[in-house]
Structure 1
Amino acid sequence: MVHIPDDADFNSFQEQCESPEGWQCQYNKGGVTVWSHEQDNSKAVKKLKMRIICKDVPAEVLYDVLHDTSYRKKWDTNMIDTYDIGRLTVNADVGYYSWKCPSPLKNRDFVTLRSWLPLGNDYMIINYSVKHPKHPPRRDFVRAVSLQTGYLIKANGDNSCILYYLTQVDPKGSLPKWVVNKVSQFVAPKAMKKIYKAGIKYPEWKRKHDPHFKPWVYPEQNTLPTVNLEDLAIQRADELENIDESGVSEERTHISDDEDGLNKES
């Protein structure tokens, strides 16, 4: 049953971000660390966790960056489209996001229920996939499933923060092993650095683009239509078509500097 995340959900998410238990380090270089978490069931979707220290970026600025869909279009070069579908409460909404996968893999998209929580100087944004009657799977995308994805931003002094990104996503496709390896070794670290750079440039950009418009901070600015919780359902992976891309060879696939294509948004 669809529910809006409560304190227990946020506490559980924060604990997963900060706890070392059960996580294996996959990458640790240039200020970015990536871990994976093996699941008890061999067929279960693996969890990935990343951390980067963002010097010269206050926590509240990075929080704004991750909410601001207008700015995302400037820095998220693998995004195809994103938009808010409607609001549920003052700190929860439903949204759409699609992103480019490196050719010849098919592009993916999501519909997610997202919720956010400011906690003093720290912030969390978490999401999971839902079904919305007016936004069914599209023929030109593979509908992927976020079991749990989110960000934890922890203040680290007055002008610095630590960003955690934790994701458990079923990309709905039998992806080749090399793609999964490439995500943790190449795609994920670069995506984290891209968010960090976006944080450094955001204050100057925001000064020129609706500087006072922040509906995620000021709910009275939110003009989205209301979504009824009863109209939503949990998006289960086994209800979606499975695409077999396991035969795609690494030689045929090019991941360029602008194709962080298997990373996704909260």
Structure 2
Amino acid sequence: MERVLVPDADAFHAFQQRCQDGDWQRDCSGLAVCLEPPPPGCTVHQLKCRIDIPEVAAGTVYDVLQDGEYRRQWDTNVIASHDIARVAANANVSYYAWRCPKPLKNRDVVTLRAWQVEDGCHTIISFSVKHPKYPPRKDLVRAVALLMGYLVHPTGPSSCRLTYLAQVDPKGSLPKWVVNKVSQYLVPQMLKRLHKACVQYPAWKQQHGLNVKPWLYPEQNELPELALSALALQHAASLDDIDESGLAEAKDESGEHGGEEN
């Protein structure tokens, strides 16, 4: 099994640089998208999406991204989401399952998720791992996150810029409309929902463990400890492929094309 390591300072720096590089295309709402072709030896595109948040501090956005309980309040895509174990003071192993646009099969992923707060920048990095108690499920397609995460940096005392990066192999052959929909609609809409959730978070947190933030205070993390040696990197080649390339985009009862919420 290939050894799993918690990202170090160099890995976080490299991720931050990747979040900033690229040919960004900005829309009328101020949201910017960058879809990059696969690098040599890879077949998976890298999608980056960036949004300016003028009325929320970087630390609040970071809390929203880390708060698993609150995520179930704003993430309409989620089927199941929870942390499994702690592998370092700044890293957990997590499970996430999400709805895909109809008629595609839904996906899930097991990741090692690590975070860093340094010089005002808040960074979260995730990548796929194998966990012995979380094998692929028959009712879901196990996706592979080659690299995924967020970079939040302040643009003022109460404003910030959020960048989302995803290089995820959904496993299988997908129709072109899926790639277009993810980059042009689904991910941008997710960030806009996240923006709204960030504005509402302080009031919600007042009623839900105001001072409980294990991502800032490791002593609050009550997850069971897990040795890194119990994990292995998850490679796409070891998972079954599924051919969905011939599927047409579904329409809901109103005649609109199906979106995230299905």
TM-score, normalized by length of structure 1?
0.92
Match of 2:105 in 1: 106
How far apart are 1:260 and its partner, in Å? 6.4
How far apart are 1:28 and its partner, in Å? 2.3
RMSD over equivalenced CA pairs, Å: 1.5
Report runs of 4+ in structure 1 exceeding 4 Å deviation.
Answer: none
1:255 paired residue among 252, 255, 258:
258
DSSP-derived class of the 1:106 partner: coil
Please give the residue correspondences for 1:169-184 in structure 2 after superposition, counting only pairs within 5 Å. 169-184=168-183
DSSP-derived class of the 2:103 partner: coil
User: Are residue 208 (structure 1) and residue 207 (structure 2) matched?
Assistant: yes
User: Are residue 166 (structure 1) and residue 148 (structure 2) matched?
Assistant: no
Matched-pair contact (CA < 8 Å) for 2:96–2:110: yes
DSSP-derived class of the 1:53 partner: strand
Match of 1:76 in 2: 75
Match of 2:148 in 1: 149
Matched-pair contact (CA < 8 Å) for 1:114–1:128: yes
Matched-pair contact (CA < 8 Å) for 2:250–2:258: no
> How far, CA to CA, are the matches of 1:97 and 1:199 in structure 2?
21
Match of 1:138 in 2: 137
> How far, CA to CA, are the matches of 2:176 and 2:42 in structure 1?
14
Match of 2:13 in 1: 11
Identity %: 50
Q: 1:145 to 1:37 in 2, by over 3 A?
A: same
Q: 1:260 to 1:24 in 2, by over 3 A?
A: farther
How far apart are 1:177 and its partner, in Å? 0.5
Match of 2:55 in 1: 56
Which amino acid letter does the alignment assign opposite residue 68 of structure 2? Answer: T
Which amino acid letter does the alignment assign opposite residue 247 of structure 1? Answer: G
Deviations 1:114-171 (A, max 9, x none): 1000013210000000000011101111000000001000101010000000110000
How far apart are 1:24 and its partner, in Å? 5.7
> How far, CA to CA, are the matches of 1:86 and 1:171 in structure 2?
24
Unmatched tracts of structure 1, length 5 or more: 262-266
Unmatched tracts of structure 2, length 5 or more: none
DSSP-derived class of the 1:135 partner: coil
1:2 paired residue among 1, 4, 12:
4
Match of 1:29 in 2: 28
How many residue pairs get matched? Answer: 256
> How far, CA to CA, are the matches of 2:103 and 2:50 in structure 1?
30
Deviations 1:197-230 (A, max 9, x none): 1100000000011111101111111110001100
Matched-pair contact (CA < 8 Å) for 1:34–1:188: no
How far apart are 1:102 and its partner, in Å? 1.9
Q: 1:208 to 1:251 in 2, by over 3 A?
A: closer
Matched-pair contact (CA < 8 Å) for 1:187–1:260: no
> How far, CA to CA, are the matches of 2:202 and 2:168 in structure 1?
31
DSSP-derived class of the 2:136 partner: coil
> How far, CA to CA, are the matches of 1:130 and 1:120 in structure 2?
29
Which amino acid letter does the alignment assign opposite residue 258 of structure 2? Answer: I
